[in-house]
Structure 1
């Protein structure tokens, strides 16, 4: 079993990595018959223009994006998109609703508060790892939009439904869930998604936005974050992250060839079941602190040695895992414990290997 590093975390070796990176390797020194690497080419070249357009087309086809939605590629990562969303949309009424269910939605709300009034639709949850019932939410009828994070990577919480915003445009951060499940795009005003979890390397963020929401950015909004301007310039206002878009386009084509989002969703469900079943049937040696109805399919936090965790056993667990080339299973510093990230890059076979290790570790130390 081999591994690879992505954004500071190391995941199990995967099929699309082999396919995509072998293709990238072949073209690294000469893209097509040009004699130049893609990294040397102008972002206004016909070669890059085709890559840019093909990537947009692939997103549209895979997610069944309607014609009245625009697909943009921006830089700045998810954090940049937090600000971009507010600067493009909050100006409509001056306020926005935020459902804060974890680390990233909390950061998004804090960023948006720089540009307008932010209404938290529910207080901070008394119990981490939960989503308050919608019946308890307090929505502002004058909000420009309702924002939520579809899957909280740090906290292991995933929305099992699309919130009801009573006609207000819904904005969702799908950085870690995009291309892992079917999505009814018509339910959303805007979707943002950093590529680095499921669809490519860091450097490009995908924005899907309904066209009627364009045209009213704040005056202070920089042109590189102005969705209206970026759409007009077809995401090449300035030099984009060309190499990141190039690799992303290859990953999207791989998804298309391997059954599309529907196949990724089926695999995601299988992987989730494998890992959560191993935790459930461990006689409390492993435990997941997240409410069962909102447990993430993608980022699975768990403790070793009991519900509160056993520091010595968790240290030993990480050491033994690393001997098998399973790195970075340590949970986020704010949460502790373990965290397994089951992005599209990780296959069911990979999860079976992890589960086998977990069972053997439990038999030895449980």
Structure 2
């Protein structure tokens, strides 16, 4: 044990320096034979008094410092608890828009999510934080792409056989009546070591993992398979998903998924006609000219659900956004993607945020317009 003399940061003095042992008081070798017994006794009494005074001084310094240290620790702990409670109280009192800005969901959605997680027993109050704080901390991390150490500062599925979106639209019904889902792959940026980076570098200039996902037409993810290197094709990942012993992708008999031209045409996966215009819009200048183009147009309109779902997911949770370099290893990033997909599904059901969805739709429309313009330009050049 070291004593801090003069307060925090002062010079350390070890108690051994002022320790007196019994032999120093009792060993007769300390006696000077040339002096009388009384003189030697007086010398020992003075030495003992000096030692007692030194111990008293040591205790006088040690006790206040000990109490001060405990007081500081209690004060810091109490201050941290107060700040955390104040933060949670602000989250409770803030309006719905501010709550969404902080947690990526409204107050009612947050309260219901907490009740679900607490009700299942997956999360419980701990000695240091309650369920509300644990959920809010996680939502803030994934919503703002923060690190755990940053947070220390802030927190001292449908029974219908046919989807309603198809059944209620004469453009799709009855032509796509057996279609139940849409599937595609999407790239998420990853942080990997230089010895494996080439395996993760595909069509992007930065390393990514290719995540295979399926969604329903209400933008909810129904299957997510993360972790594949960015250089691996969507078709290969799908083959693996269909053959896995665990978490296998199962397509009900007689039903199928919509997929883009990057996948192989199979009974369970309907792809568009090849060598036929595909990325068309309903009110484009160049209307469909034959049955194949009409089919591709309808196919594109329905398959767009997976692009919208990925778009909303990445925009809602910046920690997995396209341009964001992650702070975590691939395995952790894969878990984060899965967690964000679960939160996305929950929010689509209780707090979909139509403003965010509309923003994603505008961005996708703009990209399709640019793509169609580029295709038409290339076609005109080929005619020349």
TM-score (norm 2): 0.25
- Which has more strand, going by share of residues? 1
Which structure has more relative contact order (CA 8 Å, sep 6+)? It is 1
TM-score, normalisation: structure 1? 0.26
Which structure has the larger Rg? 2
